[in-house]
Each structure stands twice: as C-alpha cells, then as structure tokens.
Structure 1
Amino acid sequence: MEQHVYRFGADRTGADVTEGNASMKFMLGGKGANLAEMARLGLPVPGGFTVTCQTCMAYSNAGNVWPEGVLDEIKVALADMEERMGKRLGDADDPLLVSVRSGAPFSMPGMMDTVLNLGMNDESVQGLIAQTENPRFAWDSYRRFVQMFSNVVLGVDSDLFENALTEKRLVAGVRSDAELAEQDLRELVAEFKQIVSEHVDPEQYPEIVVDGKVVFPSDPMLQLRLAIQAVFGSWMNERAVLYRALNKIPDDLGTAVNVQSMVFGNKGDTSATGVAFTRNPASGAREFYGDFLVNAQGEDVVAGIRNTEPISDLKKIPALHEAGEELERIFGILEGHFRDMCDIEFTIEQGKLWMLQTRVGKRTATAALKIAIDMVEEGLITKEEAVKRIDPAQLDQLLHPQFDKTAQFDILAKGLNASPGAAVGEVVFSSDDAVARVNEGHKVVLVRWETNPDDLKGMTVAEGILTSHGGKTSHAAVIARGMGTPCVCGVETFRIDAGAKEVRIEGSDVILHEGDIISLDGTQGIVVLGAVPLTSAEITGDLDTMLSWADEIRLDETDGRAYHVRVNADNPADAELALDFGAEAIGLCRTEHMFLGDRKQIIQSFILSADEAVRQKALDDLLAVQTDDFVKMLRTMTGRDMVIRLLDPPLHEFLDDPRELEVEIARAEATGALSGKELEERQALLRRINGMTESNPMLGLRGVRLSIVYPDLPLMQVRAIATATAQLKRDGFDPRPEIMVPLVSITEEHVRVRAVIEQTLAEIAAEYDVELDIPIGTMVELPRACVVADQIAQYAEFFCFGTNDLTQTTFGFSRDDAESKFIPLYLHEKILPVNPFETIDPAVLELVKMAVDKGRSVNPDMHFGVCGEHGGDPASISGFFNVAGVNYVSCSPYRVPLARLAAAQAKLDARK
C-alpha cells in the first residue's frame, strides 16, 4: 500500500524515528527530504511529518478530493507526533502548536503558502499562557495565526488585517507590532475574527458556518485539514505557475506539506529567528551571510516588514551567544555533508537553537563561480562537479551591463547590494504598471516598499528592482538573484507613496514621480537619478577559469569526439567579440545582413530595374562591397573556419513597404505634389513591388530557389568570397571559408548551385594563381532534406541545420505569428510542454539525427553543425551532441559562453 505520510525527528528520549532522507526530494519535496536528512545527522530538528508530493497531485487531479486513507494516515502521524513531543494539538493545558509549510521538489521561494501557530484557539491560548507565563507572547501567537490562516486558507484580503494593525498601533501610540501590549493583541484577535465573519463566503466554507454565520474555526483537526488543503492548492496559484514556467519546473510534480512542531522566536529577548547562508550568495565569499531578528517569527524576516540584523552580529548578543556558536558549527556540518553552499532557516527559542530548514542555496552567477572554484581548491568537489553545478543560463548575469567606470554621477540613495548588475529605467510602482509600460516598449525599474510573491510578473519584466525595506534574504532579493535582475533593497531614505506614484527622498528635496529615469547598481547597492552609461562585463577571473575547465572537458577527444562551439556573426565587430568570448569559428555568416543600410538601394536596383545595364551595375557594386566585407571578416577569423550562407530571405524583404508607397501615391494624386511623369514612375514601382508579393513568402522564392531563378546573385557572392580568400592567401593570411547553400530540399537544387560555385572558384583560383579548396555544404532546414540527406550528402562536405525553419516546417507554425498568437495559450493549456522555438522539440531533433545518420552513412568524413537559435539554448545543446551527434553548435556572440559550458555538461552527461 502506498505510503502518503513520513515522520521525521526524534522522540522524547532522543531516539530518531525519521523515515525519509535527502534522496527522496521528489516524494518529500526538498524541504521535507532535507528535514529528514538533518534529523538523521543528529541536528536539532523539531519533530513532525511530511505529506508527499504525490498526495498533492492525487488530491488535485481528483477535483480536490482526498485519496482514500490519507486522512487516517495523517491522524496516526499526528498522534505519534503528539506522543513524541509530549503535547496535544489544541490542549487547554499544554498545547502543541504546529507549522504547515509547502515543500516542492525544486526550491520555489515565497511562491506557495505557509501557516504558522496552527492549533491556537480560545482554550489553547490559555494553556500557552500557563506554560510560558507570558500572556503577551501567547496572544501575539494567536493574533498571528488568525491573520495568516484567514489570508492563506480562507482567502481574506491581507490588507484588512494590516489596516487593523496600523490603526491599533496609532491608537496605542507605538511604532511597531512588537510594542503592542497584551490587551492590544487580545483585542486584535477579536477584531480579526470579526473580519473573517464579514468577508468569508459561507457557501465556500460550510465547515465553519454556525447558525448561518461564518465563525473562525476552533477545532484544531479542522484547522489542520483546511491548512493542508490550502498548501496543496497553492501549487497552482498564479505566482507559482509563473515561477515554474520561468524556471522550467514541471507542473505535475506537486508540493509536499510539512507539519512540524512549532518553536518560537518571539518569546522575548532570549529568542530570535533568522535566515542564513554558509557563504555569501551574492559574492561567493567564504563568510556567514544572512539576517536575523530578536523576538520575532520567521515570516518577519523574509517579509521585509522589519529591518533585520546581520547574522555576524548574532554572537554579539550575550543571551544568544551560545546558540550563535552552535549555529556556526552546524553551518560547517551541513556544508560538509551536502558539499555545497547551504541556505538555512533557524529559530532560537529561549536560548535553544532549532533548525527548521536547509537546502542548497540560490546564488548569483558571480557567487556560483567563486563557490564552485573555491570548493575545488578546498578538495570538496572535482572540476567536473564544479562545471556541472553552474547553470549556463545564469552566466547571462555576468554579461549584463555594469555602470561605466568612467561615468560621473551623484549617488541619490544607498541600500543593500541584494543582486548584482546595473539597470536604467523609468520608475514604476506596481507590477501591473511595469508590465504595461514594458509592453509599450519602455524599460522600467520596479520601486516598491517591499515586494511579495504576487509581484512576480512585474519583477520578471523589470530592468531592476528597488525596495525601501527588507534585507538581503527578503523576497525581492532572493527572487532577483535567481532571475539575474539587479536589485537594491532596504533603501530606507525612500519614502514611497504608491498611491500618489511618487517617492520623497529623506534628506533631499528630490521627489521622484512615475516615469522618471533612475539607475541602480545592485553590486554596490546604490541608486542614481537619471541614466548612467552602462558597459558589458568581460570574461575574466572566475568566469574565465570555469570556462577554461569547460573547454578542457568538451574538447577532450579520448572518447573519439570533441564538442565544438561556433558563433553566428555577420560583421568583423561581432566576430572579434565572439573570439573574446571563446568561439572557435563562425558557424553562420548571413550574407543578407550585408545588404542593409546604405547598400539596400543597390540590391533594390538589381531587383526592380528592367534595365540590364542598371542590374549589372548593381551586381558590380554589390561584388565590390561584399568582397571588402569578406576580406575583413576572413582576416579577423584567419586560421578559423567561417561558414558563409548564400542569400536566403525572400527578395521582397529588401524592398520598401508597398502600403507606405500606396499612401505616398494617394497623397500625391490628391495634392499634385508629384509631376505626371514622377507619379507614373512611382505607380510603376508599386506595380513591380506588388508583383513580387507572395502569399507565403517563408515558403516561397527564397534560399536555393533564389540562386536558381536569379543565378547572377550566387555567382556574384561566390566571386566575392573567392576573391577575398585569394587576396588574403596572397597576403599571407589563412582564410578558411565554407560556402553553404540554404533551404535545399531537392538534391538537384544543390547539385546545380554547386556546379556554379565550383566553376566560379576555379576561375578565381586561376586568376590569382592560388589554390582554393573551399568546402561546399547544405543548410538543412526542411523535413524533406532530412529524409533524402543520404542523397544530398553525396554532393556536400557538410550539413548545417537551420533549426528555426526546420521547426517551422515540421510543425507548420509560422514563428513570426505563432509566438504571439497561440503558443502562449498552448503552453498555458499544456498542449506544448515548452516553446519549440526556444528549446528543440523531440520530433525536430529526431529529424536532425536522421539527417546526420544518413549523411554519415555515405560520407563518413562529413561534419555537422546547428546554427539556429537552438544552438545557444542550454536545454537543447545536450540533445544536439548526445542524441543527434553533431560536431558543433553555433549561436549569437553573447551566448557563446553559455554554449561552451552547456557543451561541457553535455559531454559529462554522455560519460554516464
């Protein structure tokens, strides 16, 4: 029979009764599995039990109906827990209080729900007073429970309770909740219950209706069942779904629920609570990092409602010194056991330390690199393990802009350097406004008193995040670091009025309004009025070290094959940047990009003119500029391969918009702005442009078809490539171009264009008296080409897969339309698991594999590459190398470092 509930912790004799361990995170969730592991290590973990992730999904899939037998298992586990703790839930003399926390297999900080102090009612509060001799503490715990349970479980707006708290503080004449007296708290409990009665729909919660009126539930077992159900339900709340989509976490994993005996950090000055890391998650420095609060509960720390103290000051408080010493000892135990930086939650109850959670901590890219490298040097992990630990997508943080070191600016305000990187944008005060402004094409900085999980949609689109409250472990800081978004927290001089959409800066006459431009530096924790120039980072230091380790792994040929990384580059600047980023060669040079700007008029003359002399002049001009382009590019890449694709897009892309030309003609006809001859010429031009219009241009006259219909074009391009190569060879360089024919689907297409290429190469070689051994290959981007790849391979030295078009034509999707029209809906409705234009689809990957296998079957010396957008997607790279067996991937310059790391990880995966 399936087990739904697992115990953890010790009994009253100290004997461990834990049933799980760290390897069971997909059953017990990360939190439950690690609670069990800490208990097995003999650390002080309050006893409890975990309801499995599978139970959550079974409950949800059955329409929120409990699987048979689970509630009975929970009752048994609760009775065991009561026996172990020597207390009973809801007891009027010595009550057991519990926390009910979520715990998914992957860390989702702040995305799901928690209920603390469960078991409080009018009887148990008296028992808590009797046991603690602290009425204020008891009523504060009761107040917290009613507030949290009502919001999380019953769905009452949290602002109703916050407003009541604010009013009570004003009446009492105090500044913080901690200063409220026992009588104030007792009155708040009554007020909170009344709020529940007035704002909960009795039809939605019939279990708590008495005589037709909603009554806050006093039965602890009912409280527990409703709380577990609410935590299960939070798996599918909006912010959790969005977080999983952003982090590519499957929706079918579910969350576990951890029911754990409460320990209290709010029992006076000998008690505290905190969140800490065994190393600095922002910089990676080997130092204890985090925040704590005296006389508080855990939610106070992460919610940012009180400004915290740094963890380094914990031992400085005499009443907490011993617990602080023990905490540091446990830091060492956990880091040594997990061999990684750990994120820890703890509570000190009247001097006694309790461990409430540990997990491998989230960190910035800078910290991830330093921690991994330091741990290799410390002998904790190997180089291979270090390379596997770095998320390739996270490296993008290091390539984000920084403040230009030469820029001059005045600091407007300072806060905590919560997440590194720099950002410039317009001030906005809500997530909705952030999304709206970004959709209008603006860059924004989200400015909040403190963020909460519901702000995730605004945080994901903002260039940067700024809060006036909260520490380095607050919600804003943790989420921003995970996303790689610059963040400055705790800017205490910011007096934010979100309603008025303005900020007054204490000690200054500056007032910021919505739409004003600010700059922030999350590395230094500073805010600047106006826009500061930004610069990109360089690959140096720890990043260079990690990538060099990655290169050693991916280029190791002891298994017979290296994994190569090339770049998509169309100009010398991109080529030079790519070399700086570690690209080995150019995998795709798109020649059509060389026809833009001032040269657009030249190609237009060739396309539109009926005069053969004009067309030939255009070809001559294009030959001159293309030859110059290739000389510069091939010189930059001397000694390295450079795949040059012949003209690919439909010719209409180089022409003016016919709709704009129609408007111009209509205005001229109405106003007489053009002479009769001029008007006739414009009308004739419109007819020629309209004559080139296609119903479906992506499947029309483009690619190899252009080379066949307009043979002068490929002839000109090949002459330019060959001439540039010959000139450079004569001058002592080592140019290595490879010519690629695009969009081939019929073998004869490639054969005919290859004949033109070979004839032209021979002519230029003879003209310059040099040998031109230039490989000729095919860009495979149509399903038919994959099916007949063995035929095409007889006439090609290489295949390069254009996975953008291959995905379009496999699915029958138009990328330009699908991603805006229906793919978001498909993702939301789970019709598609991922966007196939971002991560390679298995069916498309199977086509790539088919073409590789067929190509190698007739030409064992062929080489194969991928140059679509997928070539820079870490999730796709392993499939290209390990499933399809390609030789290289090619991507945009800024994705080269990500691809180098992902390729090394793919190589390590292949060794398993």
Structure 2
Amino acid sequence: MAKTPKYVYLFGNKKADGDGSMKPLLGGKGANLAEMARIGLPVPPGFTITTEVCTYYYQNKKTYPKVLDPQVKAGMAHIEKIMGTKFGDKTAMPLLVSVRSGARDSMPGMMDTILNLGLNDETVLALVKATNNERFAWDCYRRFVQMYGDVVMGVQKRPGEDHEPFETVIHNLKHERYHEDIEDTKLTVDDLKELVVRFKGLIKERTGKEFPQDPWKQLWGAIGAVFGSWMNDRAIVYRRKYNIPSEWGTAVNVQAMVYGNTGERSGSGVAFTRNPANGEKEFYGEFLINAQGEDVVAGIRTPEPVVQLKNHLPQAFAELENIRKILEKHFKDVQDFEFTIQDGKVFMLQTRNGKRTAFAALKFSMDMVEEKLIDWKTAIRRNPADQLDQLLAPIFDQKAEKAAKVVATGLPAGPGAASGKIYLNADRAAAAAAKGEKVLLVRNETTPEDLRGMIAAEGILTAKGGVSSHAALVARQMGKVCVCGAGALQIDYAARTVTVSGQTFKEGDYMSINGTLGNVYAGEIKTAASEIVQVLIEKSLDPKKSKTYQMFKQLMDWCSKVTRLEVRTNADTPEQTENAIAFGATGIGLCRTEHMFFEGNRIDAMREMILADNLEDRKKALAKLLPYQKEDFVGIFKALNGYPATIRFLDPPLHEFLPHEDKAQQDLAQKMGVPVEKIRNRVKELHEFNPMLGFRGCRLGIVYPEISEMQARAVFEAAAEVQKAGIKVRPEIMIPLVGFKKELDLQVEVVHRVAQEVMKEKGVKLNYLVGTMIEVPRGALTADEIAQTAQFFSFGTNDLTQTCLGMSRDDSGSFIPAYTELEIVKKNPFATIDQTGVGQLMKIAVEKGRSTRPDIKLGICGEHGGDPDSVKFCHKIGLTYVSCSPFRVPVARLAAAQAALEEEAASAAKKPAKKK
C-alpha cells in the first residue's frame, strides 16, 4: 500500500517535524521556524504546508491533494492543544492564526500575509470577553477584514486612485470625526467598529461578495491567496531580478497569533543581529509599542530604534539581546528576525539570513572570521559576487557635497551616493530610466507594487518608514542608495511635487541623497571615486587609511588562495591595462585592435587604406598606421610587465570606418583631396544587408592579407623593443570569426612569416602563441580540426550568442524583456550565458579542442566574462581564464573563487563517510 504523502509539518513546544536544512520543502520561513523551535526559542506553535502543494496547485487547476484537508485539520488541532484554545470558539478565547508565505529564498514583501484569521462577528465578542480589552479585540478585527479584503478578496487600487481603498476609508473617518490624520492608536472602540462596517461595505461594493464569517472558509481562502501570490506581478518581477525559479513554489505557514497590540506592555519589531547597512556589530532594528508586525514594515507609523526598547520594556529587551546572540551562534550568519511582545512576553515569529549591502557583507565576513564564527572559505562565499561592484561605485565629491544645501535628513538605509531626477510614481520612474534618465524614486512609503520603479532608480527616498521598512529592506538587497523617513518632505502625488525647506521640486527636477549619512540635497551633486578606486587606481588615498580597502584586499587575497580560473581583462590602452592589473588581473584576454584606429589622425590613414584602389596604395596607408599600432602595443606590453596579452586582429566590417552622412562625406573628400563621389561609391560598395554576418573578421585578413601583415609587424616590433628593455613579453595573436580550419591556416602563415622576419631583423627570440576566437557555431563544432593549428581558443560569447540564437544583440531589447517575463529565457542571454544552448556549443568546442591538443589554452572574452553565473559555468567546463572589463575584475575573481569552493564542497559530499 502506497504511503500517504506528508504535506503538513508541525512545530511548537520546543519540537518540530522539520529543521533548518529543509528549505526546498518547507521554504525558508518554515524551515527556520522549525529550527528555532528545536533549539528552544519561544516560537508560537504552527504548521507548514509544503512547497510540493504549491506545485500541485498550479499543475492541477488550482486544486489541492485530497489528503491535504485532514492534514491541515490535524495541524490546527496541534496548535489548539498547545495554546489551550479552539479555532472558531464563540464562547471562550478563540484561537486566531496568521497565514504567511515562505519561499525557499527570502522574497521580502513580495507575497501575501494575513493576520488575526478566525475573527468574525461572534468570535470578536468572545475575544472581548476573554481579554477584557474591547479596543484590542476590535482593532484586531478591523485589521483582519482589511487584510483579508485586500489579499484574498482582491480589493485594490483602481486606475487613477493614489491611495489604497481601505486607507482612504480610514482617512475619511478620521477627518469626519477628528478633522485631522490622528494616529491609529488614538481611534476609539466606536471608531474601530465603524471601520469594520465600512470595510465590509467596501468589499461588497468592489467584489460583489460578502466578507466570509466561517473561520475554515477564511483559512482556505487565505491559503489559496498565499499560493496565488507566488504568481503575482511583483513576485514575478522579483524572481526575475534574483533568478529564483518559478518551479520552486512557496510554502504556507499557519501559526498561532500572538498580539503586540494589547496595550503599552506589548509591541512588535523587526531587528538584525548586526547593522545590515554598514556592518557594525550592534543590535539594529525597530519596534513599535502597541502594534502588530505589519505596522513596523508598512511605514505608516515611524518606529523607534530597537535599542530604545530597554526604556519601555527592559526585561523583554534583555531577552531579545540574549536571543540575538543565540541566533548568530547557531546560524553562523547575521539574522533578520521578527518578534512580538505580548504583555511583556517575547515571541519569535521568524528568522532568516539578513539582506545586506555589499559593504556590510564584507565587514560581516571579516568580523566573523576574527570572532571564529566562520572560516575564511565561508567568508568568500558570504560576499555575493554580483554585489561586489557596489564597493567600487562612486561617492559624492567631498567639496561638492559640503557646498550643497541639505534640505532634509532621514534614516541612512542604503549607503552610497545618488543624484537623479525625482519621480513620484514607479511606472513613470521606470519609463524615465528606460529613456536613459538617472532617476530618484520619491514616495511617502514604498510598497511591493513599486518594485519596477525601485529597480529602475539610482536611489530611493521616502518621507515615512524606518530602517526595516519595505523601502529599506529591498534597497539593501538591490544595493540601491536609500534614505527613509525623511519626515520634512511634503509629497503631493496629484500635483507631482515635493515641498521641503521652503522649496518646491517638480517631477523631473534634480535631488541628491547620501544613503550613508541620511542627507537629502537640492540639485545634482558631483561624484568622486570610491575609496578602493582612490587607493588602487588614482593612488590618491593611503591604503592604511582606508578600512574598506584593507577588507577588500583581504577578501581578494583569500580568493587567490582557492581560485583555479584566471581572470584577465578586456583592455585596449595602457591605462585600462594598468587599472585591471591593479584590481588583480593576470593579463589581457582581449585587446581590440580596431579601437586603436579611431583616435586622432589614425582614422584618416585607415580611411585612406579603405579607399585605396590597389595593393600599393593600401600598403602606403597601412605603413602610416604601423607606428601608431606599434606605439600602443609598446605601452600595453610595458603595463602588463610580463603578463600575457591576447590581441585580436581587425574584426569589424570596413564600412564602420567611413562616414555615412552627406556633410561628413564632403568634409572627408576635401580633407583627403579625392572626389566626394569616390567616397559615396565606396560606402555603397561596402554596404551589407547584415554586416554582422558579412565581410569582417578573418575574412578581411584573407582578402587583404596586407592588413594582417601590418598588424603582426606592429605586435612583434613592439614586443622586440619591450623585451630588449628587459621586460618579458607574451603576445597571443587571435584571429577572429574562424569557422573553417583553412581560414586560420592562411592567417597563421602570415603571422609566422612576419614573426620570423622581425626576430631576424631585431635579433631577438619571441615567445608567442597564435589562436582563434570561437564565435560562430561551425567553429565550435569543428574545434578538433581547428585545434590542429590553434594554440588557444577564446570564446567570443557576444557573437556566439548572436549566431547560435539568431538574435541581434542590438535589437534584442525590443523582445528580451517579454521573453524573460514569459520565462522563455530565464535571464537575458546577452548578460548571462545561455548554458543549455550557447553553453553546449562551448562544451563541444572544449572537448573537441582538447581531444586534438590536450594542453590547449581556453578562455572567454565576451561580456559574459564579468557575469558571476557565467564565470561559474566557465569554471565548470574547464576554461583556463575569463576576461572582462577592468572594473569587473574583482567581481570575476570572487565568482571564480566561489566556483572553486562549490566544486570542493560537491566533491567532499560525494566521498563516503569514514567508518568509525
């Protein structure tokens, strides 16, 4: 007989069916609630409905497995037994529950929560009688009707409405009765009863349905709403940004309610075991007295810092300080936890690894190694590679910031500097950013519906809310600059204005924010380089005076201890090369020689070569380019100081070097002393319907071998000169766009001939390699043949993606957003390697290339070389190096180290356990 599947896991009374390792099944929240119960923390009892039910729900037309109903009933009986109360009890204290989502990866604010479930017109009276606190009971009921109406019954903003409909009802009642926006805590019992009546009326008006009175009907409605919220718009946008698979699904957590709104000895809060903005080891967070948890994160009331709790409830504060230490010692990471205090007693509602800024992640990891909580390898894994470039982001220029006018101050919720045009609506902010504007999203408080605008913005500024508000939490995770709770801001959504310090700013006006200090400034402020850049690149700051640099250096040093994959840079000038070497690059993976032809007078010689009618004239023009190319290579080889340089010969089609506008053509004709018709005719001759697949790459060198000859001579003459000066030189000549072995053979013949000539002329011996760029599918599929000639491959994944997918990188913006939304592609394939398509071609090329030449050097030089997921894929398929832009080098180094550690962990997990 088949075993009945277990869909419900219980926790409470210091016991649990599950534990912290079961996040794929129980979700992050459920797994950690079980873990906290197991280690003896005060967790209200409850049960978790697994993520498998979510998968079933979507695969079976939003229905549930038959065995779920009895398991949920058993779960409710488990809570009733521990709490000593009954669900739906009309005569004594009724059991009320919260229903919350819980994805495997934390998705703060993206899915739905319902509190105080189980209240109706009769159980609210039983709650009044049991607690002897009429105000508390009716406050819980009005909150529940509002949440249920919004989350389960779908009462939401209509087009043109600036405020949530329930909030409008509250606002109207306050102004009718008090003529001002009083705090919710000052509403009377009569006010709360009237709100319940009006809320029910709003639900009936907007949905045509009555608010349900049956607690079990309420529960199943709430469970369905949480599963349904897995596919809501904001959750989809969030998952897409953070690469969370939709097939993971969410769990549902049903837990006994504890109440922070019973009076002055109760409250709720959100806290972190350390400061997630700046990494300091301090109890950080916020609380509100006489409030439920949603009040703290909603930003409607401005909370107090959690350290002030000792002035209100010293015993509860002391208990929380102890819990803070227990959590870090047990989970070995900074925790973000929610708590409720009911009549002086502390309850833990959830814990999770805290979202953090890149700077905080760096400091946490360094401090925890020092405290012996984690080892250095764990510290490497604790720094998200895709956030590391935050540490290199600009800060405000000190002089410019000092001269700027501070118009308001708020809470520093996301460090850094941001200037932009203000927008008061997420859609308008996203639209402006899509046009290339730098945007500041300014709101009274943000909600999950603002996510698109938050992603688009340089920075986020709110008038309300604290450091654990939605804005602060999401900004920290995204690495956005954020200032919250700048109460001096008067925001008029209808007029699209912000008034502060006697000034009125309209949408489109500039403001600036310092998320490290919490300052808000009028206008745009000039930025300066980050501390790390000031130390490494500008050499304007003493390394000993920068703690940020010292921590960054330690992290990079640790990365070097474990990394197998080398990191090179894409650089075309000595300056770019020096910058990349300063960041730890071990050579150049792509030097685009065509970039050298666009500077100054060089473009004239290049155009002269293109316009030449015969070989002799072409050679004359190329002779003018030779000294320029040589000079550039001398500078680059010196900057490399012995590191290798992969130099790609001319790649783009020739039409790119000629002007296409009539006026520019006339100017060029006059400058070169040729008829304008000659230029027009040459442009016409060179016109191609699809230049990406046309006369470019090695095809140019085959038809015009004199071009390759000039480039080879420039490389080798520069190498000879630098080598004679006592600096080791390691050139690697890369022939682009090879799909046939014969193409490479013809070009390699030219390179070897010129190398021999230069070595003989200069009396030197040069060590060099000749290889190719694998960027067309045929090159990958015939890699075993090509490797007979090629000493190295470098994957040009920009073009390999274009030719494999049949998509133009330049035109893909018109459909890729829709493709990612529809999950046709998980990520933009021009940002992250398409592993199942393009990645398969790369694997084939690696295997075939090594079958012919086992010691072949393998690299990647497309834009993907700086993307952490792509770097890890390159490690996995056994490449020698990745290459990326200079400022992405630290990101790639960290990703490469993490890839090595992941491989080490996977290998260790496969080994059989030693017998005792």
- TM-score, normalised to structure 2, is 0.92
Shift of 1:497: 0.9
Q: 278, 299, 308: which is aligned to 2:294?
A: 299
- Does structure 1 residue 619 correspond to structure 2 residue 618? no
Task: Confirm whether residue 251 of structure 1 aligns to residue 220 of structure 2.
Answer: no
Whether 1:796 aligns to 2:790 is: yes
Q: Is residue 41 of structure 1 aligned with residue 34 of structure 2?
A: no
Aligned residue in 1 for 2:594: 592
Conserved? CA contact 2:240–2:826, under 8 Å: no
> 1:565: which partner in 2?
567
2:398 counterpart SS class: coil
| Contact 1:420–1:487, Cα closer than 8 Å, also in 2 | yes
Q: CA deviation at 1:738?
A: 1.4
Partner of 2:21, secondary structure, is helix
- After superposition, the Cα gap between the structure-2 partners of 1:753 and 1:664, relative to the gap in structure 1 and judged at 3 Å, is closer
Query: Where do residues 88-487 of structure 1 align in structure 2 (5 Å cutoff)?
Result: 88-92=86-90, 93-157=92-156, 159-173=164-178, 175-201=182-208, 214-317=209-312, 320-407=313-400, 408-487=403-482
Does the 8 Å contact 2:260/2:341 carry over to 1? yes
TM-superposed CA distance for 1:342, in Å, is 0.6
Counterpart position of 1:548: 557
Whether the 8 Å CA contact 1:465–1:476 is kept in 2: the answer is yes
1:899 match: 892
| Deviations 1:838-867, CA, capped at 9 Å, x for gaps | 222234333323323333333333211111
One-letter identity of the residue aligned with 1:487: C
Question: Larger deviation: 369-378 or 770-779?
Answer: 770-779
Note if contact 1:51-1:256 (Cα within 8 Å) is conserved in structure 2: yes
Letter of the structure 2 residue corresponding to residue 30 of structure 1: G
User: 7, 18, 35: which is aligned to 2:10?
Assistant: 7
Gaps of 5+ in 2: 158-163, 533-548, 908-916
Q: Does 1:852 align with 2:850?
A: no
1:720 is aligned to 714
For 1:745, the equivalent position in structure 2 comes to 739
Distance 1:769 1:150 in 2: 86
Cα distance, 1:821 vs. partner?
3.5
Quick check: 224-233 or 723-732, which moved more?
A: 723-732
**Aligned AA (1:566):** R
Distance 2:744 2:863 in 1: 24
The 5-angstrom pairing of residues 727-806 of structure 1 reads 727-806=721-800
Distance 2:120 2:331 in 1: 40
d(CA) in 2 for partners of 1:744 and 1:8? 62
Q: Deviations over 1:335-362 (max 9, x none)?
A: 1111110111000001010000001111
* Contact in 2 for aligned 1:169/1:176 (Cα 8 Å): no
Please say if residues 270 and 286 of structure 2, whose CA atoms lie closer than 8 Å, have aligned partners that are also in contact: yes
In 1: Cα distance, 2:40 partner to 2:303 partner: 29
Q: How does 1:622-633 map to 2 (within 5 A)?
A: 622-633=625-636
Contact 1:52 1:255 in 2 (8 A): yes
State the 1:612 CA deviation: 6.0
Structure 1 SS opposite 2:647: strand
Alignment of 1:798-837 (within 5 A): 798-817=792-811, 819-837=812-830
**Residue 601 (structure 1) shift:** 3.0
| Cα distance, 1:823 vs structure 2 | 3.0
User: In the aligned structure 1, how far is the partner of 2:294 from the partner of 2:459?
Assistant: 24
Contact 2:441–2:454 (CA<8 Å) still a contact in 1? Answer: yes
Q: Secondary structure at the match of 1:286?
A: coil
Q: Secondary structure at the match of 1:889?
A: strand
CA distance in 2, matches of 1:734, 1:683: 49
After TM superposition, the structure 1 stretch with the greater mean CA deviation from structure 2, 104-113 or 848-857, is 848-857
Q: Is contact 2:492–2:498 with CA below 8 Å preserved after alignment?
A: yes
The 3-state SS of whatever aligns with 1:800 is strand
How far apart, CA to CA, are the structure 2 residues paired with 1:676 and 1:426? Answer: 44
Distance 2:482 2:611 in 1: 53
Cα shift readout 1:354-393 (whole Å, capped 9, x = no counterpart): 0000011111111111111111111111111111222100
Give the match for residue 51 of structure 1.
49
CA distance in 1, matches of 2:822, 2:506: 39
Task: Point out the more displaced range, 692-701 or 337-346.
Answer: 692-701
Residue equivalent to 2:690: 696
Tell me, in whole angstroms, the C-alpha distance in 1 between the residues paired with 2:826 and 2:125. 52
2:612 maps to 1:605: no
More displaced, 64-73 or 412-421? 64-73
Q: Which residue of 1 aligns with 2:867?
A: 873
Q: Work out whether residues 619 and 706 of structure 2, in 8 Å CA contact, stay in contact via their aligned partners in 1.
A: no
Deviations 1:249-268 (A, max 9, x none): 00011111111111111111
Partner amino acid, structure 1, of 2:299: G
**Comparing 847-856 and 393-402, the one that deviates more:** 847-856
Q: Is 1:467–1:488's contact at 8 Å kept on the other side of the alignment? A: yes
In structure 1, the partner of 2:911 is none
Give the Cα separation in 1 of the matches to 2:204 and 2:853. 78
The residue number in structure 2 matching 1:518 is 511
Aligned to 2:541: none
Kindly indicate whether the alpha-carbon contact (under 8 Å) linking 1:565 and 1:584 is maintained by their aligned counterparts in 2.
yes
Structure-2 separation of matches of 1:519 and 1:262: 42
Q: For residues 626-679 of structure 1, what are the alpha-carbon distances to aligned partners after superposition, in whole Å with 9 as ceiling and x for unaligned? A: 11111111111121111111011111222223xx33x999xx9xxxx9999999
Secondary structure of the residue aligned to 2:787 is: helix
Letter in 1 for 2:458: E
Deviation at 1:325, TM superposition (A): 0.6
Q: Name the CA shift for 1:351/1:899 in 2 (closer, same or farther; >3 Å).
A: same
Partner of 1:209 in structure 2?
none
Q: Give the letter aligned to residue 78 of structure 1.
A: M
Residue pair 2:240, 2:821 contacting (<8 A) in 1 also:
no
Change in 2 beyond 3 A, CA 1:664/1:639? closer
- Structure 2 contact 793–857 (Cα < 8 Å) conserved: yes
Deviates more, 1:690-699 or 1:391-400: 690-699
For residue 719 of structure 2, what is the amino acid of its counterpart? T
Q: Is the 8 A contact 1:8 1:48 kept in 2?
A: yes
Cα shift at 1:235: 0.3
Counterpart for residue 546 of structure 2: none
Deviations 1:517-575 (A, max 9, x none): 11211112112212211123243121211111011111xxxxxxx32110111112211
Look up the SS of the partner of 2:728 in the other structure: coil
Contact 1:172–1:180 (CA<8 Å) still a contact in 2? no
Q: 2:16 aligns with which of 9, 12, 18?
A: 18
Which residue, 875, 882, 899 being the options, matches 1:889?
882
Secondary structure of the residue aligned to 1:8 is strand
Question: Displacement of 1:136 after TM fit?
Answer: 0.8
Task: Give yes or no for contact 1:403–1:533 (8 Å, CA) kept in 2.
Answer: yes
Question: 3-state SS of the aligned residue for 2:613?
Answer: coil
Per the normalisation by structure 1, the TM-score is 0.93
Distance in 2, matches of 1:428 and 1:602, equals 48
CA drift at 1:735:
2.6
Contact 1:169-1:177 within 8 A present in 2 as well: no
What number of residue pairs does the alignment pair up?
A: 873
Shift of 1:724: 1.3
3-state secondary structure, aligned to 1:22: coil
Asked whether the equivalents of residues 586 and 642 of structure 1 are also in contact (C-alpha less than 8 Å), the reply is: yes
Q: CA RMSD in A?
A: 2.1
Whether contact under 8 Å (2:121, 2:213) holds in the other structure is: yes
Deviations 1:726-781 (A, max 9, x none): 22222232232211111111111111111111111122222222222221111122
SS in 1 for 2:247: coil
**Do the aligned partners of 2:669 and 2:675 also contact (CA within 8 Å) in 1?**
no
Q: Give 1:534's aligned residue.
A: 527
Identity %, equivalent residues: 51
Structure 1: how far apart are the matches of 2:57 and 2:854? Answer: 54
Aligned to 2:536: none
Instruction: Describe how 1:663-678 pairs up with structure 2 within 5 A.
Output: none
Following TM superposition, by how much is the alpha carbon of 1:55 offset from its aligned partner in structure 2, in angstroms? 0.5
